[in-house]
Structure 1
Amino acid sequence: MSSTPAPSQDTLDKLRAVGTATVSMQLLKRGLRHVSVNGVKPLRPDQGCVVGPAYTLRFLPLREDLSDPAVLGAPGYGPRVAIETCPEGAILVVEARGIATTGTIGDILTARLAKRGVAGMVVDGAVRDGAGVSATGFDVWCLGAAPPASITQLSGGDVEIPVACGDVTVFPGDVIVCDGDGAVVIPAKLAAEVAEDSVEQDRFERWVQARVEEGRATIGLYPPNAETKAEYEAWKTSGGQ
Protein backbone atom coordinates (compact mmCIF):
# COMPACT_ATOMS: atom_id res chain seq x y z
CA MET A 1 0.00 0.00 0.00
CA SER A 2 1.13 3.54 -0.69
CA SER A 3 2.11 5.66 2.31
CA THR A 4 0.81 8.76 0.49
CA PRO A 5 -2.38 10.10 2.10
CA ALA A 6 -5.61 9.41 0.25
CA PRO A 7 -6.61 12.18 -2.16
CA SER A 8 -8.93 14.82 -0.73
CA GLN A 9 -12.46 15.23 -2.01
CA ASP A 10 -11.40 18.62 -3.38
CA THR A 11 -8.66 16.98 -5.44
CA LEU A 12 -11.05 14.36 -6.79
CA ASP A 13 -13.66 16.98 -7.65
CA LYS A 14 -11.12 19.10 -9.54
CA LEU A 15 -9.90 16.12 -11.55
CA ARG A 16 -13.48 15.09 -12.35
CA ALA A 17 -14.18 18.56 -13.69
CA VAL A 18 -11.27 18.55 -16.16
CA GLY A 19 -10.97 14.96 -17.43
CA THR A 20 -8.27 12.82 -18.97
CA ALA A 21 -6.94 15.03 -21.78
CA THR A 22 -6.06 17.90 -19.43
CA VAL A 23 -4.63 15.54 -16.81
CA SER A 24 -2.45 13.75 -19.35
CA MET A 25 -0.99 17.10 -20.48
CA GLN A 26 -0.16 18.03 -16.90
CA LEU A 27 1.58 14.68 -16.45
CA LEU A 28 3.48 15.21 -19.71
CA LYS A 29 4.73 18.55 -18.37
CA ARG A 30 6.11 16.60 -15.42
CA GLY A 31 7.88 14.09 -17.67
CA LEU A 32 5.32 11.29 -17.39
CA ARG A 33 4.38 10.06 -20.86
CA HIS A 34 3.21 6.50 -20.23
CA VAL A 35 0.04 7.12 -18.22
CA SER A 36 -2.92 6.25 -20.49
CA VAL A 37 -4.29 2.71 -20.13
CA ASN A 38 -4.06 1.16 -23.60
CA GLY A 39 -7.27 0.24 -25.37
CA VAL A 40 -9.87 0.66 -22.64
CA LYS A 41 -13.10 2.50 -23.42
CA PRO A 42 -16.32 3.08 -21.47
CA LEU A 43 -18.68 0.12 -21.67
CA ARG A 44 -21.62 2.55 -21.77
CA PRO A 45 -21.55 5.88 -23.62
CA ASP A 46 -23.12 7.78 -20.71
CA GLN A 47 -20.58 6.94 -18.01
CA GLY A 48 -19.17 10.46 -17.74
CA CYS A 49 -15.99 11.19 -15.80
CA VAL A 50 -15.16 8.95 -12.84
CA VAL A 51 -12.22 9.56 -10.48
CA GLY A 52 -10.90 7.61 -7.51
CA PRO A 53 -7.92 5.90 -5.89
CA ALA A 54 -6.84 2.59 -7.38
CA TYR A 55 -7.54 -0.74 -5.69
CA THR A 56 -5.66 -3.34 -7.70
CA LEU A 57 -6.21 -6.94 -8.78
CA ARG A 58 -3.90 -9.06 -10.91
CA PHE A 59 -4.81 -12.03 -13.06
CA LEU A 60 -2.07 -14.51 -13.96
CA PRO A 61 -1.52 -16.61 -17.10
CA LEU A 62 -3.69 -19.71 -17.25
CA ARG A 63 -2.50 -22.68 -15.22
CA GLU A 64 -5.13 -25.37 -15.28
CA ASP A 65 -4.70 -26.55 -11.68
CA LEU A 66 -5.32 -22.98 -10.53
CA SER A 67 -8.37 -22.45 -12.73
CA ASP A 68 -10.64 -25.37 -11.95
CA PRO A 69 -14.24 -24.10 -11.54
CA ALA A 70 -14.10 -25.07 -7.86
CA VAL A 71 -11.64 -22.24 -7.26
CA LEU A 72 -14.41 -19.66 -7.72
CA GLY A 73 -15.76 -20.50 -4.27
CA ALA A 74 -12.41 -20.99 -2.56
CA PRO A 75 -11.50 -18.74 0.40
CA GLY A 76 -8.86 -16.22 -0.58
CA TYR A 77 -9.50 -16.40 -4.34
CA GLY A 78 -8.21 -12.98 -5.42
CA PRO A 79 -10.88 -11.96 -7.93
CA ARG A 80 -13.66 -12.67 -5.40
CA VAL A 81 -11.73 -11.10 -2.52
CA ALA A 82 -11.50 -7.89 -4.58
CA ILE A 83 -15.29 -7.73 -4.94
CA GLU A 84 -15.75 -7.66 -1.17
CA THR A 85 -12.73 -5.56 -0.15
CA CYS A 86 -12.48 -2.83 -2.79
CA PRO A 87 -13.33 0.31 -0.78
CA GLU A 88 -16.21 2.67 -1.36
CA GLY A 89 -15.19 5.41 -3.78
CA ALA A 90 -12.23 3.45 -5.15
CA ILE A 91 -11.69 2.28 -8.71
CA LEU A 92 -10.97 -1.42 -9.14
CA VAL A 93 -7.99 -1.62 -11.51
CA VAL A 94 -7.52 -5.08 -13.00
CA GLU A 95 -4.56 -6.50 -14.86
CA ALA A 96 -6.05 -9.05 -17.27
CA ARG A 97 -3.01 -9.31 -19.55
CA GLY A 98 -4.76 -7.58 -22.45
CA ILE A 99 -6.90 -10.63 -23.17
CA ALA A 100 -10.19 -9.55 -24.72
CA THR A 101 -11.62 -13.01 -25.42
CA THR A 102 -12.60 -13.97 -21.88
CA GLY A 103 -14.73 -12.08 -19.36
CA THR A 104 -13.18 -10.99 -16.08
CA ILE A 105 -16.43 -9.97 -14.38
CA GLY A 106 -20.15 -10.28 -15.01
CA ASP A 107 -23.41 -8.69 -14.02
CA ILE A 108 -23.74 -10.25 -10.54
CA LEU A 109 -20.30 -9.14 -9.39
CA THR A 110 -20.63 -5.66 -10.88
CA ALA A 111 -23.98 -5.32 -9.14
CA ARG A 112 -22.21 -6.15 -5.88
CA LEU A 113 -19.51 -3.55 -6.54
CA ALA A 114 -22.19 -0.97 -7.29
CA LYS A 115 -24.07 -1.86 -4.12
CA ARG A 116 -20.89 -1.44 -2.07
CA GLY A 117 -20.26 2.05 -3.49
CA VAL A 118 -17.19 1.28 -5.57
CA ALA A 119 -16.72 4.13 -8.06
CA GLY A 120 -15.87 2.07 -11.14
CA MET A 121 -13.56 -0.47 -12.73
CA VAL A 122 -10.74 -0.32 -15.27
CA VAL A 123 -9.64 -3.63 -16.80
CA ASP A 124 -7.36 -4.36 -19.74
CA GLY A 125 -9.63 -7.24 -20.62
CA ALA A 126 -13.29 -7.93 -21.26
CA VAL A 127 -16.46 -8.32 -19.23
CA ARG A 128 -19.01 -11.07 -19.77
CA ASP A 129 -22.73 -10.45 -20.17
CA GLY A 130 -22.02 -6.90 -21.30
CA ALA A 131 -25.70 -5.95 -21.47
CA GLY A 132 -26.23 -7.19 -17.94
CA VAL A 133 -23.18 -5.33 -16.64
CA SER A 134 -24.41 -2.15 -18.32
CA ALA A 135 -27.85 -2.60 -16.77
CA THR A 136 -26.34 -2.52 -13.25
CA GLY A 137 -25.29 1.09 -13.86
CA PHE A 138 -21.77 0.30 -12.68
CA ASP A 139 -19.12 2.22 -14.66
CA VAL A 140 -16.58 0.01 -16.43
CA TRP A 141 -13.68 0.84 -18.75
CA CYS A 142 -12.61 -2.29 -20.64
CA LEU A 143 -11.75 -3.86 -24.00
CA GLY A 144 -15.31 -5.00 -24.68
CA ALA A 145 -17.40 -8.07 -23.87
CA ALA A 146 -16.84 -11.81 -24.32
CA PRO A 147 -18.88 -14.87 -23.24
CA PRO A 148 -16.30 -17.20 -21.59
CA ALA A 149 -15.49 -17.00 -17.87
CA SER A 150 -12.08 -15.76 -16.78
CA ILE A 151 -10.88 -19.23 -15.79
CA THR A 152 -10.89 -20.34 -19.44
CA GLN A 153 -7.78 -18.23 -20.10
CA LEU A 154 -6.63 -16.70 -16.82
CA SER A 155 -5.79 -17.67 -13.25
CA GLY A 156 -6.66 -15.51 -10.28
CA GLY A 157 -3.85 -13.54 -8.66
CA ASP A 158 -3.56 -11.23 -5.71
CA VAL A 159 -5.02 -7.87 -4.67
CA GLU A 160 -3.42 -4.58 -3.61
CA ILE A 161 -0.12 -5.09 -5.38
CA PRO A 162 1.44 -3.14 -8.27
CA VAL A 163 -0.15 -4.18 -11.57
CA ALA A 164 0.41 -3.57 -15.27
CA CYS A 165 -3.00 -2.54 -16.61
CA GLY A 166 -3.05 -1.73 -20.31
CA ASP A 167 0.76 -1.57 -20.28
CA VAL A 168 0.72 1.11 -17.55
CA THR A 169 2.13 0.56 -14.06
CA VAL A 170 -0.48 1.15 -11.36
CA PHE A 171 0.23 1.13 -7.64
CA PRO A 172 -2.52 0.83 -5.03
CA GLY A 173 -3.63 4.35 -4.15
CA ASP A 174 -2.67 5.94 -7.48
CA VAL A 175 -5.46 8.21 -8.69
CA ILE A 176 -7.39 7.04 -11.76
CA VAL A 177 -9.26 9.47 -14.02
CA CYS A 178 -11.68 7.93 -16.52
CA ASP A 179 -13.91 9.51 -19.16
CA GLY A 180 -15.00 9.05 -22.76
CA ASP A 181 -11.41 9.13 -23.99
CA GLY A 182 -10.19 6.33 -21.72
CA ALA A 183 -8.35 6.09 -18.39
CA VAL A 184 -5.26 7.91 -17.08
CA VAL A 185 -3.13 7.07 -14.04
CA ILE A 186 -1.78 9.79 -11.73
CA PRO A 187 0.93 8.82 -9.21
CA ALA A 188 -0.63 9.37 -5.80
CA LYS A 189 2.03 11.86 -4.67
CA LEU A 190 1.27 14.12 -7.67
CA ALA A 191 -2.52 14.07 -7.53
CA ALA A 192 -3.11 17.31 -5.62
CA GLU A 193 -0.74 19.46 -7.68
CA VAL A 194 -1.91 17.92 -10.96
CA ALA A 195 -5.50 18.67 -9.99
CA GLU A 196 -4.68 22.29 -9.12
CA ASP A 197 -2.73 22.94 -12.31
CA SER A 198 -5.33 21.11 -14.41
CA VAL A 199 -8.01 23.54 -13.25
CA GLU A 200 -5.86 26.48 -14.36
CA GLN A 201 -5.08 24.80 -17.70
CA ASP A 202 -8.78 24.16 -18.25
CA ARG A 203 -9.61 27.81 -17.54
CA PHE A 204 -6.93 29.02 -19.95
CA GLU A 205 -8.08 26.63 -22.68
CA ARG A 206 -11.69 27.77 -22.31
CA TRP A 207 -10.47 31.36 -22.72
CA VAL A 208 -8.52 30.32 -25.83
CA GLN A 209 -11.57 28.53 -27.23
CA ALA A 210 -13.57 31.73 -26.89
CA ARG A 211 -10.88 33.68 -28.74
CA VAL A 212 -10.84 31.10 -31.55
CA GLU A 213 -14.61 31.36 -31.85
CA GLU A 214 -14.13 35.13 -32.23
CA GLY A 215 -11.94 34.45 -35.25
CA ARG A 216 -8.42 34.62 -33.74
CA ALA A 217 -5.60 32.60 -35.34
CA THR A 218 -3.95 29.97 -33.13
CA ILE A 219 -0.33 31.00 -33.82
CA GLY A 220 0.81 32.91 -30.78
CA LEU A 221 -2.46 32.12 -29.05
CA TYR A 222 -2.06 28.40 -28.40
CA PRO A 223 0.58 27.90 -27.15
CA PRO A 224 0.58 31.49 -25.94
CA ASN A 225 3.31 34.01 -26.66
CA ALA A 226 4.16 36.79 -24.20
CA GLU A 227 1.43 39.11 -25.47
CA THR A 228 -1.22 36.41 -25.17
CA LYS A 229 -0.08 35.53 -21.65
CA ALA A 230 -0.37 39.19 -20.65
CA GLU A 231 -3.82 39.43 -22.21
CA TYR A 232 -4.97 36.33 -20.37
CA GLU A 233 -3.62 37.54 -17.03
CA ALA A 234 -5.40 40.86 -17.52
CA TRP A 235 -8.62 38.96 -18.23
CA LYS A 236 -8.22 36.98 -15.01
CA THR A 237 -7.48 40.12 -13.02
CA SER A 238 -10.68 41.68 -14.33
CA GLY A 239 -12.64 38.76 -12.89
CA GLY A 240 -12.84 36.47 -15.89
CA GLN A 241 -14.07 32.96 -15.17
Structure 2
Amino acid sequence: MSLAEKFVKIPTTCLSDAMQGLNNLNPSIKPLDETMTVIGRAFPVKLPVGDNLLFLKAIRDAQPGDVLVVDVKGDAYRAIAGDFLLGMAQTLGIAGLVVDGAIRDVRGCKALNFPVFCKGTTVAACGKAGMGELNVPISCGGVSVCPGDLIVGDADGVVVIPQAIENEVLEKALERLKFDEQRVAQVAGNREEILRYLDKMLSK
Protein backbone atom coordinates (compact mmCIF):
# COMPACT_ATOMS: atom_id res chain seq x y z
CA MET A 1 0.00 0.00 0.00
CA SER A 2 1.36 3.41 -0.96
CA LEU A 3 1.54 6.22 1.56
CA ALA A 4 -1.23 8.11 -0.27
CA GLU A 5 -3.55 5.07 -0.02
CA LYS A 6 -3.21 5.14 3.77
CA PHE A 7 -5.03 8.50 3.79
CA VAL A 8 -8.07 7.28 1.84
CA LYS A 9 -10.38 6.64 4.80
CA ILE A 10 -9.31 9.65 6.88
CA PRO A 11 -11.78 12.59 6.78
CA THR A 12 -10.40 15.99 5.85
CA THR A 13 -11.55 17.24 9.26
CA CYS A 14 -9.05 14.92 10.98
CA LEU A 15 -6.31 15.89 8.54
CA SER A 16 -7.05 19.55 9.18
CA ASP A 17 -6.87 19.03 12.95
CA ALA A 18 -3.54 17.24 12.54
CA MET A 19 -2.15 20.39 10.88
CA GLN A 20 -3.87 22.92 13.20
CA GLY A 21 -6.11 24.03 10.32
CA LEU A 22 -3.19 25.66 8.50
CA ASN A 23 -3.43 23.86 5.15
CA ASN A 24 -7.13 24.03 4.32
CA LEU A 25 -8.15 25.60 1.05
CA ASN A 26 -10.58 28.48 1.33
CA PRO A 27 -14.01 27.01 2.17
CA SER A 28 -15.48 28.63 -0.95
CA ILE A 29 -13.84 25.76 -2.87
CA LYS A 30 -16.43 22.99 -2.64
CA PRO A 31 -17.07 19.65 -4.35
CA LEU A 32 -19.38 19.89 -7.34
CA ASP A 33 -21.31 17.08 -5.65
CA GLU A 34 -20.89 16.46 -1.93
CA THR A 35 -20.47 12.72 -2.51
CA MET A 36 -17.24 13.40 -4.41
CA THR A 37 -13.89 12.61 -2.84
CA VAL A 38 -10.39 12.97 -4.22
CA ILE A 39 -6.90 11.96 -3.18
CA GLY A 40 -3.68 12.16 -5.16
CA ARG A 41 -0.45 14.00 -5.82
CA ALA A 42 -0.69 17.63 -6.85
CA PHE A 43 0.08 18.65 -10.41
CA PRO A 44 -0.05 22.44 -9.98
CA VAL A 45 -1.21 24.65 -12.85
CA LYS A 46 -0.82 28.44 -12.87
CA LEU A 47 -3.12 30.18 -15.35
CA PRO A 48 -3.85 33.83 -16.09
CA VAL A 49 -7.44 34.89 -15.66
CA GLY A 50 -9.56 33.94 -18.67
CA ASP A 51 -7.02 31.70 -20.47
CA ASN A 52 -7.00 27.90 -20.32
CA LEU A 53 -4.85 26.70 -23.23
CA LEU A 54 -2.13 25.52 -20.86
CA PHE A 55 -4.75 23.51 -18.97
CA LEU A 56 -4.93 21.25 -22.02
CA LYS A 57 -1.17 20.68 -21.76
CA ALA A 58 -1.60 19.89 -18.07
CA ILE A 59 -4.13 17.19 -18.95
CA ARG A 60 -1.62 15.72 -21.37
CA ASP A 61 1.42 15.95 -19.07
CA ALA A 62 -0.03 14.91 -15.70
CA GLN A 63 0.44 11.33 -14.60
CA PRO A 64 -2.41 8.91 -13.82
CA GLY A 65 -3.46 9.46 -10.22
CA ASP A 66 -2.41 13.12 -10.17
CA VAL A 67 -4.80 15.85 -9.06
CA LEU A 68 -4.80 18.99 -11.20
CA VAL A 69 -4.63 21.94 -8.79
CA VAL A 70 -5.27 25.15 -10.71
CA ASP A 71 -4.55 28.73 -9.68
CA VAL A 72 -6.67 31.23 -11.62
CA LYS A 73 -6.52 33.96 -8.96
CA GLY A 74 -10.04 33.21 -7.74
CA ASP A 75 -11.74 34.25 -10.98
CA ALA A 76 -15.19 32.69 -11.24
CA TYR A 77 -16.46 34.46 -14.38
CA ARG A 78 -14.80 32.27 -17.01
CA ALA A 79 -14.71 28.48 -16.71
CA ILE A 80 -11.34 26.79 -17.02
CA ALA A 81 -13.04 23.59 -18.23
CA GLY A 82 -16.31 21.85 -19.00
CA ASP A 83 -17.40 18.26 -19.38
CA PHE A 84 -15.44 17.76 -22.62
CA LEU A 85 -12.02 18.57 -21.13
CA LEU A 86 -12.78 16.90 -17.83
CA GLY A 87 -13.94 13.78 -19.64
CA MET A 88 -10.56 13.61 -21.37
CA ALA A 89 -8.76 14.09 -18.06
CA GLN A 90 -10.78 11.28 -16.53
CA THR A 91 -10.03 8.94 -19.44
CA LEU A 92 -6.30 9.63 -19.04
CA GLY A 93 -6.45 8.60 -15.40
CA ILE A 94 -6.25 11.98 -13.69
CA ALA A 95 -7.71 11.67 -10.20
CA GLY A 96 -9.55 14.99 -10.04
CA LEU A 97 -9.56 18.77 -10.33
CA VAL A 98 -9.20 21.44 -7.66
CA VAL A 99 -9.49 25.05 -8.83
CA ASP A 100 -9.92 28.44 -7.18
CA GLY A 101 -12.23 29.31 -10.04
CA ALA A 102 -15.20 27.94 -11.99
CA ILE A 103 -16.21 25.17 -14.36
CA ARG A 104 -19.18 24.89 -16.71
CA ASP A 105 -21.43 22.21 -18.25
CA VAL A 106 -22.57 21.30 -14.75
CA ARG A 107 -24.89 18.43 -15.61
CA GLY A 108 -22.36 16.87 -17.94
CA CYS A 109 -19.60 17.19 -15.36
CA LYS A 110 -21.74 15.59 -12.65
CA ALA A 111 -22.63 12.75 -15.03
CA LEU A 112 -18.92 11.98 -15.40
CA ASN A 113 -18.64 11.36 -11.66
CA PHE A 114 -15.20 12.95 -11.92
CA PRO A 115 -14.10 14.68 -8.69
CA VAL A 116 -14.26 18.46 -9.16
CA PHE A 117 -13.69 20.97 -6.36
CA CYS A 118 -14.29 24.58 -7.42
CA LYS A 119 -15.66 27.97 -6.37
CA GLY A 120 -18.71 27.70 -8.58
CA THR A 121 -20.07 27.34 -12.06
CA THR A 122 -20.46 29.77 -14.94
CA VAL A 123 -21.41 29.89 -18.61
CA ALA A 124 -18.45 31.81 -20.08
CA ALA A 125 -15.53 30.01 -21.75
CA CYS A 126 -11.85 30.91 -21.51
CA GLY A 127 -9.64 32.20 -24.27
CA LYS A 128 -6.62 30.35 -25.66
CA ALA A 129 -3.56 32.61 -25.47
CA GLY A 130 -1.39 29.92 -23.90
CA MET A 131 0.15 31.78 -20.99
CA GLY A 132 0.89 30.23 -17.60
CA GLU A 133 3.17 27.65 -15.93
CA LEU A 134 2.93 23.95 -15.17
CA ASN A 135 4.16 21.88 -12.25
CA VAL A 136 5.52 24.83 -10.27
CA PRO A 137 4.65 25.97 -6.73
CA ILE A 138 1.37 27.89 -6.70
CA SER A 139 -1.14 29.37 -4.31
CA CYS A 140 -4.67 27.96 -4.52
CA GLY A 141 -7.43 28.91 -2.15
CA GLY A 142 -4.95 30.73 0.08
CA VAL A 143 -2.64 27.73 0.52
CA SER A 144 0.76 26.99 -1.00
CA VAL A 145 0.77 23.91 -3.21
CA CYS A 146 3.97 22.31 -4.49
CA PRO A 147 4.33 19.56 -7.08
CA GLY A 148 3.81 16.20 -5.41
CA ASP A 149 2.02 17.47 -2.31
CA LEU A 150 -0.83 15.23 -1.25
CA ILE A 151 -4.31 16.59 -2.01
CA VAL A 152 -7.31 15.24 -0.12
CA GLY A 153 -10.86 16.46 -0.68
CA ASP A 154 -14.30 15.43 0.54
CA ALA A 155 -17.66 17.01 1.39
CA ASP A 156 -16.06 19.31 3.97
CA GLY A 157 -13.41 20.78 1.67
CA VAL A 158 -9.81 20.30 0.53
CA VAL A 159 -6.57 20.00 2.49
CA VAL A 160 -2.99 20.08 1.25
CA ILE A 161 -0.43 17.85 2.96
CA PRO A 162 3.15 18.91 2.21
CA GLN A 163 5.37 15.96 1.33
CA ALA A 164 7.86 16.77 4.09
CA ILE A 165 5.30 16.15 6.86
CA GLU A 166 3.15 13.39 5.36
CA ASN A 167 4.11 10.66 7.84
CA GLU A 168 3.68 12.98 10.81
CA VAL A 169 0.26 14.13 9.57
CA LEU A 170 -0.83 10.54 8.94
CA GLU A 171 0.06 9.50 12.47
CA LYS A 172 -1.66 12.48 14.08
CA ALA A 173 -4.75 12.19 11.88
CA LEU A 174 -5.18 8.49 12.70
CA GLU A 175 -4.92 9.33 16.39
CA ARG A 176 -7.55 12.04 15.96
CA LEU A 177 -9.85 9.68 14.06
CA LYS A 178 -9.54 7.04 16.78
CA PHE A 179 -10.25 9.65 19.45
CA ASP A 180 -13.34 10.88 17.60
CA GLU A 181 -14.68 7.36 17.14
CA GLN A 182 -14.14 6.50 20.81
CA ARG A 183 -15.78 9.75 21.93
CA VAL A 184 -18.87 9.09 19.82
CA ALA A 185 -19.11 5.49 21.05
CA GLN A 186 -18.85 6.66 24.66
CA VAL A 187 -21.68 9.19 24.59
CA ALA A 188 -24.00 7.81 21.87
CA GLY A 189 -27.51 7.54 23.31
CA ASN A 190 -26.23 7.91 26.88
CA ARG A 191 -27.67 10.94 28.65
CA GLU A 192 -25.40 10.64 31.69
CA GLU A 193 -22.24 10.38 29.58
CA ILE A 194 -23.31 13.37 27.48
CA LEU A 195 -23.84 15.52 30.58
CA ARG A 196 -20.54 14.30 32.06
CA TYR A 197 -18.71 15.20 28.84
CA LEU A 198 -20.32 18.65 28.66
CA ASP A 199 -19.52 19.38 32.30
CA LYS A 200 -15.91 18.32 31.72
CA MET A 201 -15.51 20.58 28.68
CA LEU A 202 -17.20 23.55 30.36
CA SER A 203 -15.04 23.27 33.46
CA LYS A 204 -11.79 23.81 31.55
Secondary structure at the residue paired with 1:60?
A: coil
Task: Verify the 8 A CA contact 1:114 1:137 in the aligned structure 2.
Answer: no
The counterpart of 1:110, out of the listed 86, 89, 97, is: 86
Structure 2, unpaired ranges of 5+: none
**CA distance in structure 2 between the aligned counterparts of 1:46 and 1:136, rounded to whole angstroms:** 13
Decide whether the 8 Å contact of 2:67 with 2:95 is kept in 1: yes
Query: C-alpha displacement at 1:163, in angstroms?
Result: 0.9
Counterpart in 2 of 1:176?
151
Question: What's the offset of the Cα at 1:221?
Answer: 6.5
1:56 and 2:70 aligned: no
Given the two structures, how large is their TM-score scaled by the length of structure 1? Answer: 0.75
TM-superposition CA deviations, 1:104-157 (whole Å, max 9, x none): 1111110111111111110000001111111222110001111111229x9741
Give the whole-Å Cα distance in 2 for the aligned partners of 1:50 and 1:14.
13
Equivalent positions of 1:159-198 (< 5 A) are: 159-198=134-173
Asked if the contact 1:60–1:155 (Cα under 8 Å) also holds between the matched residues in 2, the reply is no
1:79 partnered with 2:23: no
Shift of 1:192: 2.0
Residue 93 of structure 1 aligns to a residue whose secondary structure is strand
Residue 88 of structure 1 deviates from its aligned partner by 0.7
Query: Secondary structure of 2:173's partner?
Result: helix
What is the RMSD of the two structures over their aligned residues, measured on CA atoms? 2.3
The one-letter code of the counterpart of 1:85 is D
Distance in 2, matches of 1:92 and 1:12, equals: 16
Distance 1:204 1:90 in 2: 31
- Bigger strand fraction: 2
Distance 2:22 2:133 in 1: 24
Structure 2 CA distance for partners of 1:87 and 1:201, relative to 1, 3 Å:
same
Quick check: 1:22 aligned with 2:14? yes
Determine helix, strand or coil for the equivalent of 1:79: helix
Q: Which amino acid aligns with 2:110?
A: S
Unpaired runs of 5+ residues, structure 1, are 1-7, 226-241
Q: Does 1:143 align with 2:119?
A: yes
Percent of pairs with identical residues: 32
Amino acid of the structure 1 residue aligned with 2:151: I
CA gap 1:12/1:221 in 2 versus in 1, 3 angstroms: farther
The higher radius of gyration belongs to: 1
Matched residue, 1:199:
174
**Superposed displacement of residue 182, structure 1:** 0.8
Aligned length: 198
Q: How does 1:197-236 map to 2 (within 5 A)?
A: 197-213=172-188, 214-215=190-191, 216=193, 217-219=196-198
